[in-house]
Amino acid sequence: MTRPTPFVSVIVPCRNEEQHLGRCLESILASDYPADRMELFVVDGMSSDRTRDIVASYAARHPVIRLLDNPRRIAPCGLNIGIEAARGEVIVRMDAHVIYPASYLPILVRALLERGADNVGGVLETLPGADTPMAHAIAFALAHRLGVGNSYFRVGAREPRWVDTVAFGCFRREAFERAGLFDEELVRNQDDEFNHRLIRRGGRVLLMPTARAYYVARTSIRQLWRMYFQYGYFKPLVARKVRRVMTLRQLIPSLFLTTLGGSGLAALWWRPAAVVGAGIAAAYAAAVLAASAAAAPRHGLRVAAALTLVFPVLHVAYGVGFLLGLRDHVLRPRKVSPELAALPLSR
């Protein structure tokens, strides 16, 4: 007996995404998944640009699309609003900065039903957000192991594998009945915490490398710094909530910075400490230069030169954010500032 095609609810939380939202919606509407078995919620965080007009234009032509308001403006609130409105047996989070091939959604839903998973995600292929050396360097770093470690949804995998988290999940509705909704205190990293909670309650998270989507990266050093500072800043809050550090790669940037800083201070009283610090800095510089040089034959010397800045910015921003988050969320817990609550909703 043929299994009936499940009804799917797609949720796109966004704010001020006029530049990318149209391409995202076009790609979702072009999916090979049956249009009569899908609904699409764009949950807008009260955008001040043309985002809402763009959604209204698409909704007028495609009844499958609905615009929902997210007065609190942050991603987990938008996701929860969409989940509560959803009618689907399957609920999928999608991001406005991503373009989805027609096969993406069918692959995830099929894997969800056939492999016993509670959440399935794909691999992101990172595209430059502009045709500049810096934008190309940022896209390269976000898909390189020196930049993001063993984050499989960014660097890829050869075979399907069970993982601790994925970028944008395709969930059984029962996953939210089992684990609850997204934590609305987590402006960033809400996927990580939810997936940990789901796994702790017996759920399983699967990465499907055949489901590939195209993530449009940030274009400037300032945007990269802000994004990775935010990721680092909220990681200690996630760790406090789940009562452990979820992966060792989260600690490496902050340990690198504290070791360098500690070596510099110790050198005031013990001169060999300066040698230790210099050795660590030299090893890091060598790794950055090697990765940048390896990119030159394919991407050009200008991109390689930009990478010598992009890698350190990515690591230092995350490390500084993590240390400040450790202070604000663990050592001296305090509420998230209004400025951080007004962050863009995309990854």
- Domain annotation covers residue 338: yes
**Using one digit for the tens of pLDDT, what is the confidence trace for 57-112?**
999 999 999 999 999 988 999 999 999 999 999 999 999 989 999 999 999 999 99
Do the Cβ atoms of 134 and 217 come closer than 8 Å? no
* In the predicted structure, residue 338 carries a pLDDT above the cut 50: no
- Domain annotation covers residue 262: yes
- Most distant CA pair in the chain, distance: 77
The CB density around residue 318, as the number of other CB atoms within 10 Å, is: 26
Quick one: tokens of 65?
């699309």
Residue 156 sits in which domain range?
A: 100-347
- Domain annotation covers residue 104: yes
Element of type H or E holding 292:
helix 272-299
Distance in angstroms (rounded) separating the CA atoms of residues 172 and 201: 14
User: What does the pLDDT read at residue 260?
Assistant: 86
In the structure, how many helices (H) and strands (E) does the chain have?
Answer: 14, 9
User: What does the pLDDT read at residue 339?
Assistant: 47
User: What does the pLDDT read at residue 214?
Assistant: 92
* In the predicted structure, residue 238 carries a pLDDT above the cut 70: yes
Distance in angstroms (rounded) separating the CA atoms of residues 22 and 99: 10
- Domain annotation covers residue 347: yes
Do the Cβ atoms of 78 and 48 come closer than 8 Å? no
Q: What is the DSSP string of 112-126?
A: HHHS--SEEEEEEEE
Residues 6+ apart with CB under 8 A from 220: 134, 135
- Domain annotation covers residue 16: no
Distance in angstroms (rounded) separating the CA atoms of residues 342 and 82: 19
Distance in angstroms (rounded) separating the CA atoms of residues 240 and 263: 28
State how many domains the chain has.
1
Distance in angstroms (rounded) separating the CA atoms of residues 332 and 311: 30
Do the Cβ atoms of 92 and 169 come closer than 8 Å? yes
User: What does the pLDDT read at residue 344?
Assistant: 52
- Domain annotation covers residue 26: no
Least trusted range by pLDDT, from 74-78, 118-122, 225-229, 332-336: 332-336
Residues 6+ apart with CB under 8 A from 57: none
* In the predicted structure, residue 39 carries a pLDDT above the cut 90: yes
**What's the whole-model pTM score?**
0.86
- Domain annotation covers residue 71: no
Quick one: tokens of 45?
């965080």
Helix (H, G, I), strand (E, B) or coil at 111: helix
**Using one digit for the tens of pLDDT, what is the confidence trace for 1-29?**
457 889 999 999 999 999 889 999 999 99
Helix (H, G, I), strand (E, B) or coil at 333: coil
- Domain annotation covers residue 89: no
* In the predicted structure, residue 323 carries a pLDDT above the cut 50: yes
